[in-house]
Structure 1
Amino acid sequence: MLIVDDDRAGPEALAAVLVLEGFRTDVVDGGRSALKAPPVSTPHIVILDLEMPLCDGFTVAAAMRQSTGYSVVPIVAYSSLDEAEVIERGKEAQIDGFRRKGNALSCLFELIDYMAPRRSAGS
């Protein structure tokens, strides 16, 4: 799983919880960093912050869809933005799902399991 966010503390905490849930995670610091380095391996899902300076999540998602490594990887917007704005702009960027930051993590986990079911522990 790839987590893209410009704030290190939140994504690192989320990654730690996801590891306890059985996921392998990589955290990338911001949109530009996500687009610069090709993935070592293709993630099963991308958790993407939308409000990032210099290169926002909508731009990152659209660019990922143009690359062969991410063209079919589910992308979940994980943001504090209003759901209506995310849905409207997210369709253009080909974002597959949305969960609001600040809500229970169980909601995010349910969406992850729905969009990228675990084949085995450590996915």
Structure 2
Amino acid sequence: MKSGIWTDRKASLNRPLRVLVVDDYAVGAEAVALALTIAGHEARFAFDADSAFQCIASWTPDIAVLDINMPSPDGFQLAAILRAADGTGETVLIAFTSLDEEAVQPPGLAAGFDAFCRKGAGTGPLLDIIARLALS
């Protein structure tokens, strides 16, 4: 499976949706954010947790797309921090990784992720899952 929704959480009614992409692979983070912007979302990117927190301090995302395999904190740890924080407790969290969904889902749910999308198939599957997670 390339993408799956694990919870009932939905993104807010903000249009365009605010989407934060966090990935330590800079080229990938920028490319995904650009594709999201072209698709009509307000997208920003960060290369690590510190830059994500700096971004969130002045701009609250409706959706956060988090890579799993990042230097500490990794995506699971970052998801747990975002889920517990005041401003991002209801943000939809998507695990965006090259790992298999079966390996990511148990720790992902425990960390607070709402959905999974596998990297490697372009941005189409990610755009699709974001559309499915958005309140209409």
- Give the TM-score taking structure 2 as reference length: 0.80
Gaps of 5+ in 2: 1-18
Partner of 1:101: 119
Where does residue 20 of structure 1 map in the other structure? 38
Q: CA deviation at 1:34?
A: 2.2
Greater RCO structure (CA 8 Å; 6+ sep): 2
TM-score, normalised via structure 1 length = 0.88
Aligned residues: 118
Q: Distance in 2 between matches of 1:37 and 1:46?
A: 12
Taking only aligned residues, the RMSD between alpha carbons, in angstroms, comes to: 1.5
Indicate yes or no: 2:62 matched with 1:44.
Answer: yes
Amino acid of the structure 2 residue aligned with 1:14: V
Q: How far is the alpha carbon of 1:32 from its aligned partner?
A: 3.6
The residue correspondences of 1:57-76 to structure 2 (distance < 5 A) are 57-76=75-94
CA distance in 1, matches of 2:52, 2:37: 20
Contact 2:93 2:114 in 1 (8 A): yes
- The gaps in structure 1 that reach 5 residues or longer are none
How much identity, in percent, do the aligned residues show?
A: 36
Shift of 1:106: 1.6
Which residue identity lines up with residue 68 of structure 1 in the other structure? D
Residue 8 in structure 1 maps to residue 30 in structure 2? no
Alpha-carbon offset, residue 36 of structure 1: 5.5
